[in-house]
Chains A and B, each alone.
Chain A
Amino acid sequence: MLEIEIDGAKVSADPGEMLIAVTDRAGIRVPRFCYHKHLSIAANCRMCLVDIEGSPKPKPACSTPIAEGMKIWTHNDKTKISQKAVMEFLLINHPLDCPICDQGGECELQDVAMDYGADISRFTEGKRIVEDKDIGALIQTDMTRCIHCTRCVRFGDEIAGVMEMGATGRGENLKIEPFLAYGIDSELSGNMIDICPVGALTSKPFRYELRSWQMQSVAGVSRHDLVGSNLLSQTYKGKVKRIVARENSDINETWIADRERFSYQGLSHENRLLMPQIKIEGKWQEVTWNVALDFALKGLNNAVLNNKQTDRLGALATNTATLEEFYLLQKILRGVGTQNIDYRLNIKDLDATINLPSNIKLTDLETLDYGLIIGANLRLEQPLINHRLRKAVLSGAMVDVVNVAEFDFNYQPNNHNIIAPNQIALLLAGVLKVVLESTQAEVLPDLQNLNPNATAKQLAARLLRADNAVIVLGEHLLNIPQVAIIAALITQIAQHTDSKTLNTSLSANSKAADLAGFTPGRDGLDANTMLTAQLKAYILLDIYPQYDFYNSPKAIEAFNNADTFIIALNSFKDEVVLEYADILLPIANFYESPGSHVNIEGLVQSFPAAVSAPGEAKPAWKVFKVLADLLQLPGFDYTANQQITSEATMHQNPKLSKVDVSKVDVSIDLTMKKGIDIIWQKSPYAIDVLLRHSPALQMTKIGQINTASMNAATAKKLKLTQTDDYLGVPVVLSETVADDCVFINANRQTWDRGQ
């Protein structure tokens, strides 16, 4: 600890700290444009000049390391004169278009100009004009306003990992522009809007909508992935108008993914479901909530309650529901006496699922020295988890990949091991064998005859050598036959190498579903068995079967059964739902309802509603509460969402027992069957209904991903060429896909997966 003096007051600081970090901590305002605490220092704007005793000229606070006994004056005349000088330079070529600039009111330049600017410009020459480029659907550029702070350039280079913006030219002709003509594609690009201090980079969907001071900001948490990014929804007259990042150093620092930032657009899509409707003799009628709920009650009574067939009632929910919604819906089902409850719609074999804990904190990912990623494209699937891993790599960690296809990384993994899906278990068995042998542990009988290959030996050696390792299991292998074994092998490997594990196989708010007990109990049916059990009634929470199920045709067929009474709660209108539902209840989507997200660490983050749902739509938790009252179920006397939150987090789900690693059974069939595996993934901006209705995201390169990739050998086996479609998705031939594998990333509905 050193002691320095700022404006006459003693302040202590760590050696090596930059002055600005110390003044920030002490709450002393030093104006700045280029400095950003999560970016490298550029020291180019020169706005932060402060007077340091003994130095003839003021020095930049952002790039002056402190020294014992330093005396700094942040507001004396010398400081002010310099800062005013810089301000004048910044303003001479800055347009005076504040009245039509979207940044107005939240512009760092405008704010500082109020303090340090002059009223009349002494610069009488013509101002610089910079031509704008269209850099994509998300970010609007007005580069004449750019003050060349290079925050956006450094963001790309240092955080997004792709230097999409660059500084070209020199002197006055220095231009901040994308290096490549195609513009900006990164999954984190929208953060450049947040960090641009002026109106050069603003939100395109938000353009000319409103002034920042007209909006209210409500804290929110995203449910698109397992991170639970903190954000602010900015609202005006009951509508979400913009989303910006909210800082939380443990979760998302100051960043959010584009998915988080722009999905709000879907909230005002014309397809929103606005009125309760009931189907009478095949015709839809809009009705009041009372009529609708009455109809629901009667329907349930007739179908399953009156005749005591409650075991023929089922509930299925989307994985983006809130903790409280999951909790209330399962409580209703259990209340009437059934455990047919599930949210895992996308899994082929629910008897052989992934049983793997996540036991590492997001912030601890940064200090890893080794990571093994299996079956994941983390950059697009869990952007901010990927960001933490990338930080680890930048500070020296090594990452290996075992995937079914090669993906674009924003850091350099050590080895891309591209392995046929049906060979991955074998590879990991090899890794486990080497690990067991090297740790002098007993080698399981099943592994005796196995000959680990070079890759297995290499991975094992690295895991053994590492002090802080993590093994990540992603979503790609969810539906291959060996997935349960793979999870068991990972558990064993992790145990014997002292590694942590991270399970991202089920995303969005699925951790909340687990916590709420939204899974079938011992006697309940799961999402697959329900579909074949000829149930008499369903309560479906925001489900769109043509997207959501592993076997969509089967689900649709089951729901369309004439004897089955279906209560569909949906936030969007949908043709398929209209066909099978008997009653349609309009519900809230993101930001329209209070609730909670449970992230990969198990952290419960609650958020209030920022706006109310459109039309007659209501938050689903309220609908469930009223339904429970109508059903005269005890224990639903909630008046506020938080009561449900605390009950849900206290509640012990009997099924959610800890995995006992010592007892994990690794019985492995070394003669694994050969055959082509199809890995079907919704593309990153098609994973939930809100995203699918967000026009700007859909226009991006990521939004357009819709490919069935396979190598030439696989294509030959399937008798396909580059011009064909496979399962409705255009075929792309690529030798970076493993043998015996079709990797599909689809942004369309799926009717048939051919399995």
Chain B
Amino acid sequence: MNEVCFKTIDQDNPHTLATYKKNGGYQIWREILAGKWTPEKIIDELKTSGLRGRGGAGFPTGLKWSFMPRNQAGQKFVVCNSDEGEPGTCKDRDILRFNPHAVIEGMAIGGFVMGATVGYNYIRGEFKEPFYRFEAALAQAYELGLLGKNIHGSGMSFDLYSHLGAGAYICGEETALLESIEGKKGQPRFKPPFPANVGLFGKPTTINNTESFASVPSILSHGGQWFADLGVKNSGGVKLFSVTGHVQKPANFEVPMGIPFKDLLKMAGGVRSGRTLKAVIPGGSSTPVLTAEVAMNMTMDYDSIEHAGSMLGAGSVIVMDDSTCMVKALTRLAHFYYDESCGQCTPCREGTGWLYRILKRIIDGNGKAADIDLLLSVQDKIIGNTICALGDAAAMPVESFLRHFRDEFDHYIKHGKSIIEVKNSGENIK
């Protein structure tokens, strides 16, 4: 546990430069500056490590870095996505709070590999403390001469800036994030072109999640194989899981990929006393919900979760016990996407509001029998038809909630109230 991004978390002053250095921090970056690494070698190690993008889509990081036209002349950028807006996710916040230097070093390494001399870390607007932690770490790195122009006389330069968002979930989508850094309204661009070709300010850009960047220094110092061996096939390494919801001890856990879900649940203290597990959303609110039974038999890695019918996503495990009304839960999620849609493209702008209104009508006791089919039809019309994946994220939970908990919806429509009799008033929460 806590071997990569959370390496320093149990030490005193985990976020400081001294602590980071004591744990071998900036070693790789210094080696790079000394000319001991080539970009190809780094990409190879990353490929071997099996590191997959921790922002949700799980795209192999080594492969992504190899797409960058690194030898193309002109400015290029690396961008870190610390927007962390997905309900259920809170891991990047803690990386920024407790190990900001790993992010800086990871981005600097990325800059070297991709031939980019400027990087931006886009930090979620509400992350005041993490932002100041990161800023302080940046200042220290500059002070030490690890960033800037012609670093240590190596001829290499890397400048890093942080950029505070303004509280829009959509700005976590990589191209909306780029627009936002450019000072424009944060709304996704259509693809192609992809950021690797036309990114920030129209220049080639690589965007990775905070955890992805923060994992890179450890991978390089211990070797890709070491990282791969920590995990399982197709899911190399360790991963931060944010376990939230109806558990005794909600927290972030950095554990090896492939750990059984039930062990992870145990680490979080299990469900609240006197309650039983009802459902799990394993990868953040946009991933399909799973029933307790399925969840208890899966392991926490890409393949197993996919096999179970959902996605590992950003590793945000939302645990629901038997006091949960699934109709209300879905309504709450639908409201989130309805509220956060950028409004740019038709299916998402119109569809998310429609989904929410149907659900709201049901929980207000005005549902109609035909509403179930209508929900399924509307979500199906959103999926795949939008500019970015927010549309899919809004639609997917609807299908899975209805697939697994159809009877609750039927009951609500028929009786005008929830099947869950227990008042969710907080008296059961320990």
Identify the A interface with B (CB < 8 A).
41-47, 49, 56-58, 60, 63, 65, 82, 85-86, 88-90, 92-93, 122-123, 125, 147-148, 167, 169-174
Q: Known: A43-B190, A122-B374, A148-B349. Is A172-B343 also a contact (CB below 8 A)?
A: yes
Q: Which residue of A lies closest to B380 (CB)?
A: A85
Scan residues 371-386 of chain B and give those whose CB is less than 8 A from a CB of chain A: 374, 377, 380-381, 383-386
Residues in chain B near residue A57, CB distance under 8 A: 383-385
How far, in whole Å, are A394 and B358 apart by their CA atoms in the complex? 47
Q: How far is the CA of A123 from the CA of B339 in the complex (A)?
A: 19
Contacts of B339 in A (CB 8 A): 171
Mask, B129-152, CB within 8 Å of A = 1, is 000000000000000000000000
A-B contact sample (13 more), CB < 8 A, given A92-B354, A174-B343: A42-B190, A42-B344, A44-B344, A46-B346, A57-B384, A58-B384, A85-B347, A89-B350, A148-B343, A148-B346, A171-B339, A171-B340, A173-B343
| CA of A93 to CA of B349, assembled, Å | 10
Q: Which residue of A lies closest to B391 (CB)?
A: A46
CB distance from A680 to the nearest CB of B (A): 43
- The interface residues of chain B, by DSSP majority, are classed as helix
- Which single member of A42, A65, A125, A171 contacts B349 (CB below 8 Å)? A171
Q: Which residues of B contact A88 (CB under 8 A)?
A: 381
B345 near A44: Cβ-Cβ < 8 Å: yes
Given the complex of chains A and B, what is the CA–CA distance between A43 and B188 in angstroms?
Answer: 11
Q: In the complex the two chains form, what is the Cα distance from A57 to B374 in whole Å?
A: 21
Give 17 A-B contacts (CB < 8 Å), ordered by A residue.
Answer: A41-B190, A43-B345, A44-B387, A46-B345, A57-B385, A85-B381, A86-B346, A90-B350, A123-B354, A167-B185, A169-B343, A170-B170, A170-B187, A172-B341, A172-B343, A174-B342, A174-B344
Q: How far is A172 from B352 in the complex, measured between Cα atoms in Å?
A: 9
Is the CB of B249 closer than 8 A to any CB of chain A? Answer: no
Q: Which residues of B contact A147 (CB under 8 A)?
A: 346
Residue of A nearest to B341 (CB): A171
User: A93 with B381: in contact, given A43-B387, A173-B343 (CB under 8 Å)?
Assistant: no
Check A170–B342 contact: CB distance below 8 A. Answer: yes
B17 at the A interface (CB under 8 A): no
Assuming the contacts A89-B346, A169-B343, A173-B343, asked whether A46 and B386 have C-beta atoms less than 8 A apart, the reply is: yes
Give A63's nearest chain B residue, CB to CB. Answer: B190
A46→B349 CA distance, assembly (Å): 11
The residue from B353, B374, B377 contacting A172, defined by CB atoms under 8 A apart: B353
Other-chain contact of B385, A46, A125, A170 (Cβ < 8 Å): A46
Complex contacts, B342 vs chain A, CB 8 Å: 170-171, 174
Q: Which residues of B contact A49 (CB under 8 A)?
A: 385
Give the chain B neighbours of A42 by CB distance below 8 A.
190, 344
- Nearest 4 A/B pairs, CB to CB: A174-B343, A57-B384, A85-B381, A89-B350
Q: How many residues on chain B are close to A (CB under 8 Å)? A: 33
A residues near B385, Cβ cutoff 8 Å? 46, 49, 57-58, 82, 85-86
Q: What is the minimal beta-carbon distance from A398 to any residue of chain B, in angstroms?
A: 20
Give the contacting residue for A171; candidates B352, B361, B374; CB below 8 A.
B352
Whether B281 sits at the interface, judged by CB under 8 Å, is: no
List, in ascending order, chain B residues with CB within 8 A of A45's CB. 345-346
Q: In the complex, are the beta carbons of B347 and A172 less than 8 A apart? A: no
Residues of B within 8 A of A92 (CB): 350, 354
* Distance, CA A545 to CA B386, complexed state (A): 61
A89 touches which of B185, B343, B351, B357 (Cβ 8 Å):
B351
Contact: A171 with B343, CB < 8 Å? Answer: yes
- Residues in B neighbouring A86, C-beta threshold 8 A: 346-347, 381, 385
The chain B residue sitting closest to A60, CB to CB, is B190
Q: Which residue of A is nearest B342, CB measured?
A: A170
Interchain CB contact under 8 A, B346 and A44: yes
Report which of B354, B361, B384 forms a contact with A56, defined as CB distance below 8 A.
Answer: B384
Contacts of A90 in B (CB 8 A): 346, 350
B74 at the interface (CB under 8 A from A): no
- The complex places the Cα of A65 from the Cα of B345 at a distance, in Å, of 19
Interface flag for B192 (CB, 8 Å): yes
Min CB gap B317→A, angstroms? 27
Q: Which residue of B lies closest to A45 (CB)?
A: B346
Report if B168 contacts A (CB, 8 A): yes
Do the beta carbons of A46 and B347 come within 8 Å of each other? yes
Q: How far is the CB of A469 from the nearest CB of chain B, in Å? A: 27
Decide if B384 touches A170 in the complex (CB within 8 Å).
no
Task: State in angstroms the CA–CA spacing of A719 and B381 once bound together.
Answer: 72
Least Cβ–Cβ distance between B196 and chain A, in angstroms: 15
The answer to whether B168 touches A170 (Cβ under 8 A) is: yes
B338 within 8 A of A: yes
| CB under 8 Å from chain A, chain B span 386-417 | 386-387
* CB closest residue in chain B, given A81: B381
Closest B residue to A150 by beta carbon equals B344
By a CB distance below 8 angstroms, the chain A residues around B353 are 171-172
User: Nearest residue in A to B370 (C-beta to C-beta)?
Assistant: A122
- A120 CB to nearest chain B CB (Å): 13
Minimum CB–CB distance for A15 against chain B, Å: 13
Q: Which residues of B contact A123 (CB under 8 A)?
A: 354
Q: Measured between alpha carbons, how far is A63 from B384 in the docked complex, in Å?
A: 15
CA of A45 to CA of B190 in the docked complex: distance in angstroms?
12
**A47→B357 CA distance, assembly (Å):** 24
C-alpha spacing A85/B344, complex, angstroms: 16
Hey, which chain B residues are within 8 Å of A170, CB to CB? 168, 170, 187, 340-343
Please, which residues of chain A bring their CB within 8 A of the CB of B380? 85
Docked-complex contact A174 and B349, CB < 8 angstroms: yes
**What 1/0 flags go to B220-264 for Cβ under 8 Å of A?**
000000000000000000000000000000000000000000000
B187 to chain A, nearest CB (A): 8
- Separation in Å of the A83 CB from the closest CB of chain B? 10
Task: List chain B residues, Cβ under 8 A from A173.
Answer: 343
Output the least CB separation between B195 and chain A (Å): 16
Q: Which of A43, A65, A147 has the most CB of B within 10 A?
A: A43
**Minimum C-beta distance from B391 to chain A (A):** 9
